[in-house]
């Protein structure tokens, strides 16, 4: 209102001035109005702009860019005593079922999981194995399936992501433990160094690494509180509840320390060729049911308590005894722990509980096309139900 009065007062005097004075007065009046009116608007505009900028700055400061990516890890919890004793490099990853309870009964299963990040084939096999395990898996209240993976850092990172998907539909409690392959190898090497030259394909070969003798000395690696574990290959497909496999431990006869299936190809008919030539009446390398075809390590039940308690088994681990048996049987293998178990099984079958072939239905037919087609079916046939398919040597696994 003060501005308008000022304008009217100026306009009232216009008649007393000449025309050029009129122009000057009018310009002055407009300048006053512009100062009060537009100056106020400029202040309001500046304040609003400032508030917008402040708000935007606050928004950017509070924004967490990590929210834009999906965390593909399962929840982490504090490591257990077991993982510390197993090398000190393990990481415990638990399911959404929450913290473990001391009263829970645990079923332990271990898989080698190295170099998986570099192999699409291994990734596909792992997918088949885990999804089929989850599909058929069922455990009772108070039971937990503990999955152990011996892995390198890159494979571990990939495994965590894959397991989040594969275990999503699991109806049972589970825990996941990743064990560092380097830490375990360092523990294993002094124990198995002597046997590597007898059961490896040569320096730098896949099975020449000490880690592929893990099952041989598992009872020295795992804590004393852990008494049973199942070791499984990645190239498996489960057709039944894996819990049923653990029940086979209760069928072990006295003195048995390992449950394992026979080899379903004439691998050891070939490997023991010299011994067989020198001993034509031997059953070593012959097909079932009366022969000794050797073992396949794709599915193994390791009674760690019995392995620790067996004086015989631990004596057979001593370098001098390994060399003695290898010389006696003219044995030179390339399949790691499988060769060792096969060799001592020829001499001491009482250390082994024979799983039915359906628990490790091997599908590889390589030896059929490499000189043993006439006897192949004697080894390959497997009567009875199939509980686990084993797609060894990259064999396709049936869809059923």
Query: 17 phi and psi, to 5 degrees?
Result: -110, 155
Instruction: Please check whether residue 56 lies inside any domain of the structure.
Output: yes
Instruction: Please check whether residue 76 lies inside any domain of the structure.
Output: no
Q: Are the CB atoms for 43 and 37 separated by under 8 Å?
A: no
Instruction: Please check whether residue 228 lies inside any domain of the structure.
Output: yes
Q: Are the CB atoms for 213 and 150 separated by under 8 Å?
A: no
Instruction: Please check whether residue 399 lies inside any domain of the structure.
Output: no
Q: Give the Cβ contact number of residue 75 at 10 Å.
A: 11
Tens digits of residue pLDDT in 223-262: 999 999 999 999 999 999 999 999 999 999 999 999 999 9
CATH number at residue 188: 3.90.550.10
Going by their DSSP bridges, the two strands 352-354 and 258-262 should be labelled as parallel
Structure tokens at 279: 């001993």
Q: Does 151 share its domain with 255?
A: yes
Instruction: Please check whether residue 162 lies inside any domain of the structure.
Output: yes
Q: Does 49 share its domain with 177?
A: no
pLDDT for the residue 52: 32
Tens digits of residue pLDDT in 135-162: 999 999 999 999 999 999 999 999 999 9
Name the band, by pLDDT with cuts 50, 70 and 90, for residue 37. Answer: very low
Residue 8 pLDDT exceeds 50: no
Residue 87 pLDDT exceeds 60: no
pLDDT for the residue 197: 84
Q: Are the CB atoms for 126 and 234 separated by under 8 Å?
A: yes
Q: Does 297 share its domain with 378?
A: yes
Instruction: Please check whether residue 13 lies inside any domain of the structure.
Output: yes
Count up the domains in the chain and report the number: 2
Angle, to 10 degrees, between the axis of helix 181-199 and the axis of helix 337-347?
A: 50
Residue that finishes a domain, picked among 29, 60, 91 = 60
Mean pLDDT of 295-309: 98
Name the band, by pLDDT with cuts 50, 70 and 90, for residue 90. Answer: low
Q: Are the CB atoms for 239 and 337 separated by under 8 Å?
A: no
Task: Please provide the average confidence, as pLDDT, over all residues in the chain.
Answer: 81
Q: Does 126 share its domain with 258?
A: yes
Q: Does 146 share its domain with 17?
A: no
Q: Are the CB atoms for 302 and 229 separated by under 8 Å?
A: yes
Q: Which domain holds residue 130?
A: 81-394
């Amino acid at each position: 209102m003060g501005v308008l009065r000022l304008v009217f007062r100026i306009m009232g005097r216009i008649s007393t001035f000449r025309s050029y004075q009129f122009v000057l007065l009018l310009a002055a009046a407009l300048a006053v109005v512009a100062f009060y009116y537009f100056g106020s608007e400029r202040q309001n505009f500046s304040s609003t702009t400032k508030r917008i900028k402040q708000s935007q700055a606050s928004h950017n400061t509070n924004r967490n860019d990590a929210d834009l990516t999906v965390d593909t890890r399962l929840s982490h919890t504090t490591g257990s005593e077991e993982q510390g004793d197993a090398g000190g490099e393990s990481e415990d990853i638990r399911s959404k079922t929450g913290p473990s309870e001391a009263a829970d009964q645990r079923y332990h299963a271990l898989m080698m999981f190295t170099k998986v990040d570099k192999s699409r084939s291994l990734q596909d096999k792992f997918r088949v194995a885990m999804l089929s395990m989850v599909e058929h898996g069922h455990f009772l209240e108070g039971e937990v399936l503990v999955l152990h993976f011996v892995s390198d850092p890159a494979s571990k990172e990939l495994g965590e992501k894959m397991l989040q998907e594969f275990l999503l539909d699991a109806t049972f409690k589970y825990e996941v433990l990743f064990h560092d392959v380097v830490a375990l190898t360092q523990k294993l090497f002094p124990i198995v160094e002597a046997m590597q030259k007898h059961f490896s394909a040569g320096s730098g070969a896949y099975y020449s690494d000490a880690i592929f003798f893990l099952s041989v000395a598992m009872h020295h690696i795992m804590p004393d509180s852990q008494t049973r574990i199942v070791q499984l290959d990645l190239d498996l497909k489960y057709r039944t509840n894996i819990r049923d496999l653990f029940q086979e431990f209760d069928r072990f006869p006295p003195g048995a320390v390992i449950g394992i299936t026979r080899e379903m190809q004439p691998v050891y008919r070939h490997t023991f060729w010299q011994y067989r030539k020198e001993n034509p009446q031997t059953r070593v390398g012959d097909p079932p049911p009366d022969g000794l075809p050797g073992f396949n390590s794709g599915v193994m039940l390791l009674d760690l308590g019995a392995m620790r308690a067996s004086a015989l088994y631990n004596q057979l681990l001593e370098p001098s005894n390994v060399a003695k048996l290898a010389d006696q049987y003219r044995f030179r293998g390339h399949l790691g722990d499988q060769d060792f178990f096969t060799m001592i099984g020829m001499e001491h079958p009482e250390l082994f509980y024979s799983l039915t072939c359906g628990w490790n239905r091997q599908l590889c037919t390589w030896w059929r096309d490499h000189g043993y087609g006439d006897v192949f079916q004697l080894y390959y046939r497997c009567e009875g139900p199939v509980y686990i398919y084993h797609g060894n040597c990259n064999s396709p696994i049936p869809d059923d």
